[in-house]
Structure 1
Amino acid sequence: MSVPNVREIKVKQHRKKFEMPDVVVILFGFLLLAFIVSFILPSGAYERVERNGVTQVDPETFQYIPMEPLSILDIFSSIQIGLVNASSIIFLILIVGGTIKVIESTGAINAGIHSFITKSKGNYQLLIFTFCTMFALLASLGIAPNLAIAFVPIGLLLARSLKLDPIVGVAMVFLGAYAGFSGGVFDPVVTVMGQTIAELPLFSGYLFRMAIFAAFLSITIIYICLYAKKIRNNPAKSFMGADSFSEHLEENVYMEENTFTSRHMIVLLLFFLSIGLFVYGAFSFGWSINELAAIFLMLGIAVAFIMKISPNGLVKRFMDGVREVVYGALVIGIAGAIIVLLNEAQIVDTIVHFTASSLEGFSPSAAMLLLYIFNLVFNGLITSGTGQAAIVMPIMVPIGDMLEVTRQSVFITFKLGDAVTNIITPLSGTLMACLAIAKVSFIDWIKFTFPLFLLWLVLGAIFIGIAVSINYGPL
């Protein structure tokens, strides 16, 4: 009998090793699950009415409707429709990703990071605090957390410079953004829409939301810092292993020096001024995605002029950046296909109706907490804040009125439910795109972030309990 050599043993072990499915494979699995569920749940619909320019659900109009079975063709056509529906954010990500690559190619980001590290004397906790706070503030002011996808490469550069892992690179950007999104202090999109449906003064109750913002951000920063400390002391404790950046080792042909020059300073100042300009325009002139894309295109051209990059060189570098984020950007559309399929099956309203009917007989506090849990689950399916507000808020408001709960408490229950599960649901195109760009497996991300998710879950419940107990009012 022949004895297998070492090489044969290693080959067999390699074949037995479980390979984590690609993000697209995971999402397609959920697409098939949605297809199956469409044959189990009955179809139903609420009537939609327009009030104050906002399309809302009329909670008294639910009725079951004849089921129109989905076909195999619907599964695949939903992907195309999902991509088309998400086209505006997809193209924004491509433009921002391309512009970021142009800036990165000048060495400004790399040199700025190294200068920041030097001035902070390698204090990684200060750097994590700075980056998380910056993205939290942007999200709280209405810069969509989806934009985090385009900034993940910057987080990866910083994490690598600090000898941390890609998980920290994603967390500083993505978790920071959603910590800020949880409060939505002056969010001109989701907060305005939710409060409009609830007929509340716009941006009212901001002090309570500022407290939510501070609590979520503080816990998130501490959590990331503790993980960073652990892997700094022992890289093997990274959920991705000691060689976590092994897939990111390709040479960046544009970065040749780390000296922070006056031109680098001008480039970075232009970058932050561009973001500031958009925030001002969003509040003053109602700017949205189109204007933000235009600002970043102008920023890329300005950077090329300052750094004396030729027109052909600008296009090449821009396209290099597009290639880096295109996979993640397309993931958003593929995730949206699941929502398309659920809407075509007309079972989203059925889910909402079942939930609203089951809350009868509960105390105000218990009912609000159950609504919070429902919204957490619902947010795992419908991750669009505006889409969720249009469906859920018109149902929650009359329930709150019947329970004699203030509408501000109802709104904050919706807002917190809209935020927490974003950091773990595989149906979030933003999350899956960030992980795809950073080459972090979904399993590794869940291992890292699930304890934080539980902390956010409890923290949200505490704030809802406080809101109900103090009769959280409109101001």
Structure 2
Amino acid sequence: MDEPAPSQPTPAPAAEGRFPSAYTILFALIVLMAALTWLIPAGEYDRAVNAALGREVPVPGSYRPVEAAPQSPLQVLMAPIAGFYDPSSYEANAIDVSLFVLIVGGFLGVVTATGAIDTGIARAMRRLKGREKWIIPIMMALFAAGGTTYGMAEETLAFYVLLIPVLIAAGYDALTGVAVIMLGAGVGVIGSTINPFSTAIASDAAGIAFTEGMGLRFAILGLSWITAVAYVMRYAERVRRDPGRSLVADMKEANEAHFLQGAGHASDRPLTALQLLILVVFAATFGVMVWGVAAQGWWMAEMSALFLGASILIGILAWLGEKRFTSAFVDGARDLLGVALVIGLARGIVIVMDQGRITDTILFTFEGWIAGMSDVAFVNALFAVEALMSFLVPSTSGLAVLSMPILAPLSDFAGVGRDLAVTAFQTAIGITNLVAPTYAVVVGGLAIGRVPYNRWLRFVWPLLVLLSLISMALLSAAVLL
């Protein structure tokens, strides 16, 4: 059996040179934030330990000006480096996520070297002939379940190279694959029900039980999922009927060469017993990852160890030998090196803001804007404020700890329940984190899926408007009822 060559990055078309790469966009944002530290007055809230959260949170009414800390060119250059190991992060540090991405790349390189993926995709497409479209709602439902229950985010990065080849082979495009994963998990986060990184932390910071407002969140989850599925399926069917209408049509051949590799040559090959066993181990690895995160509290270190162990097991089962195994693993990791670097750059933006002491000033400004509004105006203004803040602080739990202790008490004066303030927060950050270039999951997922950022914006902005209108309408209705 001919073995497929290790995956090699396929260059994007030269036409993409007209729009800056993710690296340029993120570094430009770091420079912009550094410039703002020279213009925006520095300030800080006092912090106090929240016993329920076990973390320091801002104290309402304690904002005060402090000595300015404008960021120098050297600090701009240091920001992406510090972004990899920011000790103040409330979630996984960028170095943890980046290492996880590299190990997943190595794992995929080893599996690809066995030929099992190519043959498995070809066989799956033969079996799904005429029913390919149902992959979209089924997978979006599974990702949404992960998003609403445990905030599935960084761990979705492992699924792009698994799902995109299947959808391309089914006649869709790489953007469809990115949309199924990113929007599936994203609408789950928008309609978070028991998500500990969104609903639970925000509710604790607001001083309420996370079960308050659950009915409204289920309604938002259901309507958002239906809207997103219909939107993706409509686009996917349009692409299947006319590939020229794909937003990445000019990248079609390059993406097929990159993702499918030897699948065309494998179309007539039988799936051997060994390859079937490898695919079972392959699928089981993802299943164990989801179980570990949801039930055992695993995070990046444990997930990385899981994929490393699975790589070794598959290498032994396929009897690749030490040299072929290490070459396949390193080649696979090399393919995702750019993704790992993008994640560190994204975190560098928050580093510059915090070191320049302007994050609390921005929050204080928003606090002044929305204070004293009527109930309906307040809940919608709070939604808008949290959406803007999440561009600057993309960490869900980080923004919850930062903003909720300040903004939730304001809802009392507006006659709005604090549970609505929490729901406004989680829906807003969920929507923003579908496009925020500061969010590692967005820039990382687009980099793996080989979808340029500007193409993603063109695709997703009408859906973001729809999801925002759904959330704001339901929030307003909840205030009035």
**Length-normalised TM-score, structure 1:** 0.88
Q: Which residue of 2 is the match for residue 456 of structure 1?
A: 467
Q: Is the 8 A contact 2:190 2:430 kept in 1?
A: yes
Quickly say closer, same or farther: Cα 1:183–1:97, change in 2 above 3 A: farther
Q: Which residue of 1 is the match for residue 7 of structure 2?
A: none
Q: Is the 8 A contact 2:139 2:180 kept in 1?
A: yes
What SS does the corresponding residue of 2:298 show, helix, strand or coil? coil
Matches within 5 A, 1:111-150: 111-142=119-150, 144-150=152-158
Q: Which residue of 2 is the match for residue 257 of structure 1?
A: 266
1:80 aligns with 2:88: no
* Deviation of 1:135 (Å): 2.2
Aligned counterparts of 2:377 and 2:413: Cα–Cα separation in 1:
14
1:296 aligns with 2:304: no
1:23 aligns with 2:34: no
Matched residue type, 1:223: Y
1:389 aligns with 2:397: no
Quickly say closer, same or farther: Cα 1:114–1:187, change in 2 above 3 A: farther
Aligned counterparts of 1:161 and 1:16: Cα–Cα separation in 2:
25
Matched residue type, 2:414: L
Q: Is the 8 A contact 1:44 1:65 kept in 2?
A: yes
Aligned counterparts of 2:151 and 2:318: Cα–Cα separation in 1:
28
* Deviation of 1:346 (Å): 0.8
Q: Is the 8 A contact 1:149 1:434 kept in 2?
A: yes
Q: Is the 8 A contact 2:45 2:360 kept in 1?
A: yes
Unaligned runs of 5+ in 1: 1-13, 471-475
Quickly say closer, same or farther: Cα 1:98–1:255, change in 2 above 3 A: farther
Matches within 5 A, 1:154-173: 154-173=162-181
What SS does the corresponding residue of 1:50 show, helix, strand or coil? strand
Aligned counterparts of 1:420 and 1:279: Cα–Cα separation in 2:
23
Quickly say closer, same or farther: Cα 1:16–1:216, change in 2 above 3 A: closer
Question: RMSD between aligned alpha carbons?
Answer: 2.6
Q: Which residue of 2 is the match for residue 447 of structure 1?
A: 458
Aligned counterparts of 2:358 and 2:199: Cα–Cα separation in 1:
26
What SS does the corresponding residue of 1:189 show, helix, strand or coil? helix
Aligned counterparts of 1:372 and 1:289: Cα–Cα separation in 2:
30
1:324 aligns with 2:335: yes
What SS does the corresponding residue of 1:419 show, helix, strand or coil? helix
1:177 aligns with 2:178: no
1:352 aligns with 2:360: no
Tell me the number of residue pairs that the alignment of Structure 1 and Structure 2 aligns: 457
Aligned counterparts of 2:275 and 2:213: Cα–Cα separation in 1:
41
Quickly say closer, same or farther: Cα 1:434–1:276, change in 2 above 3 A: closer
Out of 275-284 and 206-215, give the one that drifted further: 275-284
Aligned counterparts of 1:188 and 1:433: Cα–Cα separation in 2:
23
Aligned counterparts of 1:220 and 1:267: Cα–Cα separation in 2:
33
Q: Is the 8 A contact 2:206 2:418 kept in 1?
A: yes
Q: Is the 8 A contact 1:106 1:307 kept in 2?
A: yes
**Length-normalised TM-score, structure 2:** 0.87
1:48 aligns with 2:28: no
Aligned counterparts of 1:349 and 1:106: Cα–Cα separation in 2:
52
Aligned counterparts of 1:313 and 1:255: Cα–Cα separation in 2:
23
* Deviation of 1:419 (Å): 0.5
Q: Which residue of 2 is the match for residue 187 of structure 1?
A: 195
Unaligned runs of 5+ in 2: 1-12, 87-93
Quickly say closer, same or farther: Cα 1:143–1:93, change in 2 above 3 A: farther
Quickly say closer, same or farther: Cα 1:28–1:373, change in 2 above 3 A: same
